[in-house]
Amino acid sequence: MKRTRFVFSGSGGQGVITAAIILAEAAVLHEGLNATQTQSYGAAARGGSTKSDVIISDQPIYFPEVNQANILVCLTQEAYINYSSIIRPGGLVLTDSRFVITTKKVDARQIEVPMYDNVIEKIKKPIVFNICMLGALLGITEFVRPSSVMEVIKSTVPKDFVELNQNAFELGMELGALYNG
């Protein structure tokens, strides 16, 4: 896999950092790739903006931070305002249509998906919003195999929550597939 740089951004509690870790872990444990994951540290456990950088590559990764992202995920307006400028030309910006109003200033493919509204309507648990987002991302482009991500989710979340997460992940995949290609 060519070096791909992701930035996940949102606000504390949305699970953007967890999603970033799951994606990177799936690449390393189940696809034989290299990955690094770093994050901003601050008092953002609830509220406040959070950001996590992930790099996935079949080559060694040295500098672990992302200055120019191939893929940018923004789950809040604040995150979009702060980070939309770091997207590489031709990159992909994924936003949630409930939380983010996008502008046309970005030289990249912008995809607005109603992930949050779908999670609330069909799963009724906002806690899996982040997993739905991960599903949507892989639905748009299979950066790693969806089965690899599910393996990591199964080994990470408590047993009773696996099905809930699986449903959210599959819901996201369906939503993302609408924008595939």
Partner 1 sequence: MSNNIRFVQGNEACVEGALYAGVDFFAGYPITPSTEIAEILSKKLPEKGGKFIQMEDEIASMCAIIGASLTGHKVMTATSGPGFSLKQEALGYACMAEIPCVIANVQRGGPSTGNPTHVSQGDIYQARWGTHGDHSIIALTASNHQDVFSVTVDAFNLAETYRTPVILLFDEVVGHMREKLVVPEKGEFPIVDRLRTSVKKGVDYHPYLPREDGRLPMSDFGGEHRYNVTGLFHDMWGFPSNNPRVVRDLLHHLIDKIENNVHAITRYKEHYLEGAEYILISYGSSARSAIHLAKNRRERGEKVGVLELQSIWPFPEGLVREKCANAKAVIVVEMNMGQVMKEVKACVDNPSKVFLANRIDNKLITPTNIKTLLRMIQGRGV
- Minimum distance of partner 1 from residue 33's CB (angstroms): 9
Which residue, 157 or 171, has its beta carbon nearer to partner 1? 157
Alpha helices in 84-159 (DSSP H): 115-118, 129-140, 146-156
CB 169 within 8 A of CB 131: yes
Which residue, 35 or 92, has its beta carbon nearer to partner 1? 35
CA neighbor of 94 nearest in space, from 157, 141, 34: 141
Sites of contact with partner 1 (CB under 8 A) = 21, 24-25, 28-30, 32, 34-39, 41-42, 61-65, 67
Strands (E), 58-174: 69-74, 87-96, 108-113
- Minimum distance of partner 1 from residue 148's CB (angstroms): 10
- Minimum distance of partner 1 from residue 14's CB (angstroms): 19
- Minimum distance of partner 1 from residue 133's CB (angstroms): 19
Which residue, 33 or 175, has its beta carbon nearer to partner 1? 33
| CA dist., res. 102 & res. 94, Å (int) | 10
